[in-house]
Structure 1
């Protein structure tokens, strides 16, 4: 089972309400839905789409002034999504992807500015 924060944690982190794929079913838990968050840090605009039950995470960052794509990260096997900072002036997450013989760690900072660090460690 994948480990993702609760819906309220994402509201605090991204400071916005998500667009839910299945917004008609009020009984569908957040974990089984798909949520898309759109927010900005003033310099960059972000679109983050989460499907916790599938372990899918998509993070798109564009430069606000030019609307130029800076980064697109589309992950299909995230086993752990950790919020490492959730403050007014600083927010960041750590994503963990486990493969057969390696573990990938992706650190993403949203505030004060966008930064992405990708590390892979062999486990086999």
Structure 2
């Protein structure tokens, strides 16, 4: 079960959950002395379909950047500045899924087995 860290800007899983999900340690924009909440952390992940994911998270600003490439083709470029919650829906060997919520939308992203993005607009959230 994942721990969720809450703050005014963004609710998000803790660093260990992110490392498990992306199967790597993040590259931090600032030194390791800067707390995760205030830092920009970048994770890289490649699925079995050779789709390359780069995810940048800055919880203190509610920012998330999500880039996907397959070979040299850009499949996705999502830059969000008002994320309220970032959740891990699934972190299993055969499936990896995230959910991003904001005041007006929900985005569900599947990284494994292959890229799938579902955008749901919320009128009265």
Same fold, TM-score > 0.5, yes or no = yes
Q: Is the 8 A contact 2:98 2:108 kept in 1?
A: yes
Q: Secondary structure at the match of 1:71?
A: strand
CA contact under 8 A between 2:48 and 2:112: conserved in structure 1? Answer: no
Corresponding residue of 1:48: 55
Q: For 1:1-124, list aligned pairs within 5 A.
A: 1=8, 2-23=10-31, 25-26=32-33, 28-43=34-49, 44-63=51-70, 66-98=71-103, 103-123=104-124
CA distance in 2, matches of 1:69, 1:104: 23
How many Å apart are 1:32 and its aligned residue?
Answer: 1.0
Deviation at 1:121, TM superposition (A): 1.5
SS at match of 1:50: strand
Count of residue correspondences: 116
Once residues 81 and 113 of structure 2 are traced to their aligned partners in structure 1, the CA distance between those partners, rounded to angstroms, is: 27
RMSD: 1.2
What SS does the corresponding residue of 2:12 show, helix, strand or coil?
coil
SS in 1 for 2:60: helix
Which has the larger Rg?
Answer: 1
Report the TM-score, using the length of structure 1 for normalisation: 0.89
SS in 2 for 1:78: coil
TM-score (norm 2): 0.88
